[in-house]
């Protein structure tokens, strides 16, 4: 199921990037005044992100028949002008060679930059930012409608150890680094639109340099936290029949019941797998951005998807296209994660009485544990019983 969702997301993203859905078709242009070459209207239409029929350029690549006789003054120039040659390069119809070596240097022209820029400054900020604000609002409403989930009958006063120090260390490494990455990532993505008008260019420049430095370096802590928590908790997050019962009861959130659960309930397993899968994907696309042109991934991913789903995604991508796709994918996945984590932070703090202690000092109230993780309490007590009697 996750694969299908992933496939659908890549499909929507790629469709938007390769054929922006909002692109209007440009009106017909009369090019007689330029002898068929592009006009100011063409340039303005392209800048307005309209869909321009490019055949008047892509097919205008010079013709040997146009060449002046070799005995004429300009005869040695042949039938292809400089402009024709550049158009040939632009539309991949000429095979230029270069002596320069290095990543991406053999690409002279790549024209995806504008669509990438528009997508990043437009829908990514609008939908991503909108999703975060909308979700926070939803949680505020939820809080006022449902209220805090309390411990029925109040706390017992007896404590039981829920997370060991190493588990809490792994969690806070992951959580602390994620929050820092989310904030610095948002500054990088949205600062130009929202901060420059408020704090000015110079202050933003300093902030942006700092944000980039923090973002690039803290990413390693996040990846380490991800690996640590995965290793420690994966066994407790394997789905089983009990999860289905828990989900059918809606986690007891609205009925105020307490469906049975082991160490992690189905809701937490969803958080765990969301964090692991999206965290892995955001790390991979982040690495690809951190080492420009060294880790292209989309051509291979598209090839793999084409072979499985029978789709027809482009598998010959210019190095710059790889970077553009990584960048947009990185932001989209990060926004999905932020939305999921906001819900997680809500339930771990103001949303549920007694939950924070689990990650605070590791000790939770026994009554809280019985109500939310009854089977886990049984397991722990059975083990302790064994420990005492042996
Ligand atoms: C910054 C504020 C955060 C708070 C207050 C918080 C709180 C908590 C608490 C109390 C638990 C234990 C729940 C239990 O006893 O069953 C927990 C578990 C967990 N946290 Fe966080 N957390 C925060 C941020 C994050 C972030 C940013 C991530 C990941 C990027 C994360 C990932 C997890 C995971 C995977 C678990 C285990 C599954 C679960 O309980 O949902 N947490 N967190």
Q: What is the CATH number of the domain that holds 334?
A: 1.20.950.20
pTM given for the model:
0.82
Using pLDDT thresholds of 50, 70 and 90, give the confidence band for residue 65. confident
Domain assignment of residue 44, yes or no: no
- Quote the ligand 1 centre to 8 CA distance (angstroms): 28
Helices (H) and strands (E) in the chain, counts: 16, 2
For atom 25 of ligand 1, the residue with the nearest CA is 175
Domain assignment of residue 123, yes or no: yes
Mean pLDDT computed over 321-338: 97
Domain assignment of residue 86, yes or no: no
The per-residue pLDDT for range 166-177, each reduced to its tens digit, is: 999 999 999 999
Detail the DSSP E strand segments found in the chain. Answer: 159-161, 363-365
**Ligand 1 atom nearest to 267, measured from its CA:** 41
Q: Which residue from 179, 264, 344 has its CB within 8 A of the most atoms of ligand 1, so it is best to mutate? A: 344
The per-residue pLDDT for range 129-149, each reduced to its tens digit, is: 999 999 999 999 999 998 999
| Comparison of pLDDT for 177 and 14, the residue scoring more | 177
Domain assignment of residue 312, yes or no: yes
- Quote the ligand 1 centre to 162 CA distance (angstroms): 13
Q: Which residue pairs from 151-158 have beta carbons closer than 8 angstroms and sit at least 24 positions apart in sequence?
A: 151/353, 151/354, 151/365, 151/367, 151/368, 151/371, 152/258, 152/367, 152/371, 153/367, 154/367, 155/353, 155/354, 155/365, 155/367, 155/368, 156/365, 156/366, 156/367, 157/365, 158/365, 158/366, 158/367
Here the tokens at position 353 are 């009485």
pLDDT attached to residue 290? 97
Domain assignment of residue 344, yes or no: yes
For atom 4 of ligand 1, the residue with the nearest CA is 345
| Comparison of pLDDT for 326 and 77, the residue scoring more | 326
Domain assignment of residue 22, yes or no: no
Using pLDDT thresholds of 50, 70 and 90, give the confidence band for residue 280. very high
pLDDT attached to residue 390? 37
pLDDT attached to residue 350? 95
Domain assignment of residue 321, yes or no: yes
Number of domains in the chain: 1
Domain assignment of residue 52, yes or no: no
pLDDT attached to residue 68? 84
For atom 24 of ligand 1, the residue with the nearest CA is 175
Here the tokens at position 233 are 């908790």
For atom 7 of ligand 1, the residue with the nearest CA is 348
Torsion over CA: 340, 343, 346, 348 (sign):
negative
The per-residue pLDDT for range 281-319, each reduced to its tens digit, is: 999 999 999 999 999 999 999 999 999 999 999 999 999
Q: Which domain holds residue 274?
A: 113-385
- Kindly state if the Cβ of 86 falls inside 6 Å of ligand 1: no
- Quote the ligand 1 centre to 171 CA distance (angstroms): 7
- Burial of 292 (C-beta count, 10 Å sphere; 0-12/13-18/19+): middle
Mean pLDDT computed over 255-281: 95
């Amino acid at each position: 199921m996750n694969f299908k969702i992933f496939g659908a997301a890549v499909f929507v993203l790629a469709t938007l990037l390769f054929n922006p859905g909002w692109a209007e078709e440009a009106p017909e242009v009369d090019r007689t005044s330029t002898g068929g070459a592009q006009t100011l209207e063409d340039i303005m239409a392209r800048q307005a992100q309209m869909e321009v029929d490019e055949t008047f350029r892509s097919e205008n690549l010079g013709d040997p028949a146009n060449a002046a006789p070799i005995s004429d003054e300009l005869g040695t120039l042949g039938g292809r002008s400089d402009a024709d040659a550049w158009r040939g390069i632009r539309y991949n119809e000429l095979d230029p060679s270069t002596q320069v070596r290095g990543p991406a240097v053999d690409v002279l022209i790549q024209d995806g930059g504008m669509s990438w820029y528009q997508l990043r400054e437009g829908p990514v900020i609008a939908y991503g930012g909108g999703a975060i604000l909308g979700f926070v609002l939803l949680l505020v409403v939820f809080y006022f409608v449902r209220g805090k989930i309390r411990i029925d009958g109040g706390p017992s006063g007896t404590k039981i150890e829920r997370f060991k120090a190493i588990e809490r260390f792994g969690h806070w490494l992951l959580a602390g680094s994620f929050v820092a990455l989310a904030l610095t990532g948002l500054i990088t993505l949205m600062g130009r639109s929202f901060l420059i008008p408020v704090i000015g260019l110079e202050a933003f420049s300093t902030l942006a340099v700092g944000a980039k430095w923090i973002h690039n370096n803290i990413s390693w802590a996040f990846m380490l936290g991800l690996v640590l928590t995965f290793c420690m908790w994966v066994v407790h997050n394997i789905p089983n029949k009990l999860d289905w019962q828990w989900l059918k009861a809606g986690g007891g959130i609205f009925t105020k019941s307490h469906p049975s659960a082991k160490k992690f309930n189905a809701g937490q397993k969803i958080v765990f797998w969301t964090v692991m899968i999206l965290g892995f994907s955001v790390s991979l696309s982040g690495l690809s951005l951190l080492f420009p042109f060294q880790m292209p991934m989309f051509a291979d991913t598209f090839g793999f998807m084409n072979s499985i789903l029978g789709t027809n995604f482009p598998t010959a991508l210019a190095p710059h296209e790889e970077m553009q796709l990584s960048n947009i994918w990185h932001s989209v996945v990060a926004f999905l994660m932020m939305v999921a984590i906001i819900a997680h932070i809500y339930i771990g703090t103001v949303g549920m009485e007694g939950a924070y202690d689990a990650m605070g000092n590791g000790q939770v109230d026994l009554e809280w544990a019985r109500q939310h993780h009854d089977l886990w309490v049984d397991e722990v007590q059975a083990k302790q019983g064994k420990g005492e009697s042996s």
